[in-house]
Amino acid sequence: MPGQPDTPYLDALRAYAARKPGRFHVPGHKGGPGADPALRELFGDRVLELDIPALTYGIDVGEEPTPFQEAQRLAAEAWGARRTWWLVNGASQGNHVALLTLGHRGQHVVTQRNAHSSTIDALIMSGLRPAFVSPELDPELHIAHCMTPEALDRALGETPEAAGATVVSPTYFGAVADVAGLVEVAHAHGVPLIVDEAWGAHLAFHEDLPAPALSLGADLVISSTHKVVGSLTQSAMIHLGHGDLIEEGVVDRCVTLIESTSPNSLLLASLDAARRRAATRGRELLGETLAALEQTREAIREIPGLDVLDERLAGAPGVFDYDPVRLAIDVRGTRMSGYELARRLREEHDVLMELAGENVMVAVYGMGEDAAAASERLLAGLRGVIEAAGDDDQEGADVGFAPPPPWGELVMTPRDAFLGPQEVVAARDAVGRVAAESLAAYPPGIPNVLPGERLTAETLGYIEQTIAHGGSLRGASDRALRTLRVAVEG
Ligand SMILES: Cc1ncc(COP(=O)(O)O)c(C=O)c1O
């Protein structure tokens, strides 16, 4: 595509630094002189010279289209969006924007129960009342997959006032939802589908990968560009699809509502550069990554006790397709949990995993890194840990796994529960009260309780049992569940 080899924003930044203008504006480090010497030495003045504020003439104000506008137009073109906004607070900001946008359409939303915490936070920000849908649970791997179109159809049928629906695809573990089916269902109910594709920014750039959500008709897509596509940490994008269920002007206002008035120019420039690389070389680079990962998977399968997740997962409930750029390692055949294996990898080999769970560990590969060389290091570490463990009596934590009990009735919105009067009570006194915080027993990490829900004895018992069996609790202010924050009802 013409224009894709260009980087208008990056170039404008470079030209600014080369000019060495009189900097009588923020930031106070003034491109180096005002910074601590250690920072100057570590970063180099080059980085500091490029750190400039918004509203700089010739970059994001002045003759239109400005380099800032033109660069985002190129991003929209590369990902196939009607319009794209760069974000400087990650895909988390994307989820906040998405739900604030939906808040303009109504007061209810259908959302996946195991949505990322930023979606739960977005419920608090937007005041939307959620109707939750359970993802499909994998009874063997003890992980959650995606929401099915059938489940979405049921939920939208039961929530006719919903302003829209949000789903996650791909998951942390690489499972991809039937996005085309979900779009069809959402549109049949007259509402937009928002896809949290934080883990799928690369999908648009290789035909052997699962189709990206925008190409399947999703209305708004959240993309964490820094995760795989190589921009700087915290930089991300939100893409508007080609339907007419979501207003461009509303998304625009919601982006600025929650964004700093000083978005970091280094983050923005990294998005411009990552887009150029993905659009012009993504296919070739991802092809190399895919080939290297195929070999890595084979090599891992040969290590005693280890297996990998791959396209064999497609067809399982809630798994329409699989993203082969994710390396998820199934450790059930070892006598270690994923937590233990990851700990030994870190301590004995300085090899750090992205995520470790009871049965599965996830290694992330970036588009364009030398995946084959990276895999050598990972494989050496895995072989080392497994050999050293030998006949150890090491046993994986025996975490019982029963599907969690149904979540409690939502009696106030997450926003009202979070912002309203609250108190801390002993867990045994919490039954019947309304939660002011989240509780998610791991595995499988799906929230058992969210702010605004009535606490039941069944759910609290389930969480206690999971903790007693070696599982853990996320989201709670007291991770041992001795106490709980609850709402004071008027
Ligand atoms: C599904 C999902 N959505 C959103 C996010 C938030 O992304 P970020 O860290 O870019 O804010 C994550 C982070 O891991 C995620 O897994």
Q: How far is the CA of 209 from the centre of ligand 1 (A)?
A: 20
Establish whether residue 198 lines the binding site of ligand 1, counting it when its CB lies within 6 angstroms of any ligand atom: yes
CA–centroid distance, residue 93 to ligand 1 (Å): 9
The percentage of the chain sitting over the pLDDT mark of 70, rounded to a whole number, equals 98
Q: Tell me the per-residue pLDDT of 317-349, one tens digit each, with 9 for 90 and over.
A: 999 999 999 999 999 999 899 989 999 999 999
Q: What does the pLDDT read at residue 403?
A: 78
Shortest-distance atom of ligand 1 to CA 172: 16
For the Cβ of 120 lying below 6 angstroms from any atom of ligand 1, the answer is no
**Rounded to whole angstroms, how far apart are CA atoms 278 and 131?**
37
Q: Residue 172: CB within 6 Å of ligand 1?
A: yes
Pocket flag, ligand 1, residue 87 (CB < 6 Å): no
Ligand 1 atom closest to the Cα of residue 234 is: 10
**Measured between alpha carbons, how far is 309 from 293 in angstroms, rounded to an integer?**
12
- Expressed in angstroms and rounded, the spacing between residue 115 Cα and the centre of ligand 1 is 10
For range 374-386, the mean pLDDT: 98
Of 111, 166, 197, 224, best ligand 1 pocket probe by most atoms within 8 Å of the beta carbon: 224
Q: How far is the CA of 391 from the centre of ligand 1 (A)?
A: 38
Q: Kindly give the number of the ligand 1 atom that is closest to the alpha carbon of 227.
A: 10
Q: Which pLDDT does position 402 carry in this prediction?
A: 72
Instruction: State which of 87, 88, 92, 96 you would mutate to test the pocket of ligand 1, scoring each by most atoms of that ligand within 8 A of its C-beta.
Output: 92
- Kindly report, residue by residue over 126-159, the tens digit of the pLDDT: 999 999 999 999 989 989 999 999 999 999 999 9
Per-residue pLDDT tens digits for 187-200? 999 999 999 999 99
How many whole angstroms from 144 Cα to the centroid of ligand 1? 16
* Residue 376 tokens, joined: 């050598």
Is there an atom of ligand 1 within 6 Å of 375 CB? no
Cα three-residue angle 188-194-198, rounded to 5 degrees? 145
User: Ligand 1 centroid vs 238 CA: distance in angstroms?
Assistant: 12
What pLDDT was estimated at residue 488?
96
Reply yes or no on whether the pLDDT at 391 is more than 80.
no
User: Is residue 20 within 8 Å of residue 52, measured between CB atoms?
Assistant: no
Round to the nearest angstrom and report the end-to-end CA distance of the chain: 60
Phi, psi of 296 (to 5 degrees): -60, -40
Is the minimum distance from the CB of 92 to ligand 1 under 6 angstroms? yes
Q: Is residue 455 a contact partner of residue 435, using CB atoms and an 8 Å limit?
A: yes
pLDDT given for residue 400 in this prediction: 54
Return the structure tokens found at 219: 């209305």
> How many whole angstroms separate alpha carbon 226 and alpha carbon 236?
6
Q: Is 196 in the pocket of ligand 1 (CB under 6 A)?
A: yes
Using the mean position of ligand 1's atoms as its centre, give its distance from the Cα of residue 394 in Å: 33
Q: Is the CB of 173 under 6 A from ligand 1?
A: no
Q: Who contacts 123 (Cβ-Cβ below 8 Å, separation ≥6)?
A: 99, 109, 111, 130, 413, 414, 415, 450
Q: Which of 118, 167, 474 to mutate to test the pocket of ligand 1 (most atoms within 8 A of CB)?
A: 118
What spacing in Å lies between the alpha carbon of 95 and ligand 1's midpoint?
9
Q: Which atom of ligand 1 is nearest to the CA of 89?
A: 11
The answer to whether the CB of 326 is under 6 A from ligand 1 is no
Residue 394, pLDDT above cutoff 80: no
What is the whole-number distance in angstroms between the Cα of residue 198 and the centre of ligand 1?
Answer: 5
pTM: 0.96
Q: What is the largest CA-CA distance in the chain?
A: 70
Average pLDDT for the chain: 95
Give the distance (Å) from ligand 1 centre to CA of residue 457.
32
What separation in Å is there between the alpha carbon of 400 and the centre of ligand 1? 28
Residue with CA closest to ligand 1 atom 9 = 90
Token pair for 128? 């939307």
118 CB less than 6 Å from ligand 1?
yes
pLDDT confidence band for 445 (50 / 70 / 90): confident
